[in-house]
Structure 1
């Protein structure tokens, strides 16, 4: 009897094809979406392969495929569009945001374009200073190297998982949904991948209820056409980290928030 890994795990499944097929067996590689009543595996193209459990003859869990820099940039682009600031401005490949909320992402600059360089940071600092705000830089790993000696004030792990496809409604642009214990937003990456992101999860008092609400929000995202879900988790947020694991999320990349001062970057 096969022992199935957690949903969201990247697997290779060998299964029997229809009677008379040549060859009689084949494989599918992707992320495990379901095992009952049918086995469902989503491939890297987004296609979902369904197999009767009785037809599965072998199973192997795989390590996650290396994440490309372009995939990190695409996900960060979709995440930035999820909850835009009250004011936004593009500066040399950086997206600058300020908002009324106290969330880190609402008041930070993120390098989203290939052209973004550290040489733009003094101008970014000046922009935030004109608004009487701390110039926070959101630096996703591998998109930009911080200046030597720069220290992170807050770190996050961005986790991802496939989402179950459903009867897709025709939606364009950003759509959001607010729950009692979490909120979600559906946005598109430049490569066309549609993501549903989960934010501000309150799981401390009732983790079971938070999990059910998150599952409902992910299903809503799928109905809006999302094929992938993501969830940022702060380094010190053990409650949300445990919930993310239970929901089948897996690491994608890390990002850090750094407070910039103009003098630290004038020579780069």
Structure 2
């Protein structure tokens, strides 16, 4: 009996083709989207392969292709453009954003430029304290090294999917929140503010987006599973840390 991994896992699945097919077996390689009533696997071309669970004869979970640091930085640039906050400024490679009542993504400092260093943290703290705000750092993994044991107040998963094959939807949007921005590498992204919906992806495609991302709480397993069922996969994580004058992250 096949033991299935979590939705969103990259897999290779061998399954039986219809009776009389030559060859009788074939393989699907991609991200696992669904298991019931049919198995659905999205391949790297964006095509979705479907087959019955009873036809599966072999399964192997694969590691995702490694995400380059430059790709993380590019996506974070696009996400930052979607939520700049009420006020923003650059300080020694850090993007500082503030906005009363805004969520952490629009009210934190991120080491977005390759030149960012921990030495700027005391000035970051002062910038937020002058505005009566709690100074926080938003640290995407691999953009800045953190000392072992550094405690995060909050961790997000940044999940992505390609919009190849997604038909454009109505250009006026819906009741969900989304924004289309462009990364420095030219990729046009649609960013979703909550659990993804197919209508939001279609709206993004209608605005020229070729890829989508969603930022979800690391503990929100239901939303993460829903995203996986729509073809999203983990790109990287982002940690929020309370900044103090003597921090050495």
Q: TM-score range by the shorter chain?
A: 0.7 to 0.9
Residue in 2 aligned with 1:223? 206
Residue in 2 aligned with 1:80? 80
In 1, Cα distance between the equivalents of 2:224 and 2:11? 22
Question: Secondary structure of 1:264's match?
Answer: coil
Give ranges in structure 1 of 5+ residues lacking alignment.
1-5, 13-28, 34-38, 52-59, 170-175, 202-210
Q: 2:167·2:202 contact (CA, 8 Å) conserved in 1?
A: no
Matches within 5 A, 1:209-220: 214-220=197-203
Query: How much is the aligned-residue C-alpha RMSD, in angstroms?
Result: 3.6
Residue in 1 aligned with 2:100? 100
Residue in 2 aligned with 1:240? 223
Q: Do residues 261 (structure 1) and 249 (structure 2) align?
A: no
Residue in 2 aligned with 1:208? none
TM-score, length basis structure 2: 0.73
Residue in 2 aligned with 1:112? 112
Q: 1:194·1:228 contact (CA, 8 Å) conserved in 2?
A: yes
In 2, Cα distance between the equivalents of 1:188 and 1:246? 25
- Cα 1:68–1:138 change in 2 (3 A) is same
In 2, Cα distance between the equivalents of 1:9 and 1:217? 23
Matches within 5 A, 1:134-145: 134-145=134-145
In 1, Cα distance between the equivalents of 2:232 and 2:9? 9
Q: 2:166·2:201 contact (CA, 8 Å) conserved in 1?
A: no
In 2, Cα distance between the equivalents of 1:103 and 1:50? 35
In 1, Cα distance between the equivalents of 2:224 and 2:32? 20
1:165-198 Cα shifts (integer Å, max 9, x gaps): 56779xxxxxx97643x31111111100111111
Question: Secondary structure of 2:237's match?
Answer: strand
Q: 1:138·1:258 contact (CA, 8 Å) conserved in 2?
A: yes
- Cα 1:167–1:254 change in 2 (3 A) is closer
Aligned residues: 220
- Cα 1:68–1:144 change in 2 (3 A) is same
Matches within 5 A, 1:1-268: 43=45, 63-147=63-147, 149-165=149-165, 179-180=174-175, 182-201=176-195, 214-265=197-248
Q: 2:194·2:216 contact (CA, 8 Å) conserved in 1?
A: no
Question: Secondary structure of 1:263's match?
Answer: coil
- Cα 1:7–1:239 change in 2 (3 A) is closer
1:194-228 Cα shifts (integer Å, max 9, x gaps): 11111134xxxxxxxxx6xx101111111211111
In 1, Cα distance between the equivalents of 2:183 and 2:68? 14
User: How far is the alpha carbon of 1:255 from its aligned partner?
Assistant: 1.1
TM-score, length basis structure 1: 0.68
In 1, Cα distance between the equivalents of 2:172 and 2:84? 15
Q: 1:109·1:137 contact (CA, 8 Å) conserved in 2?
A: yes
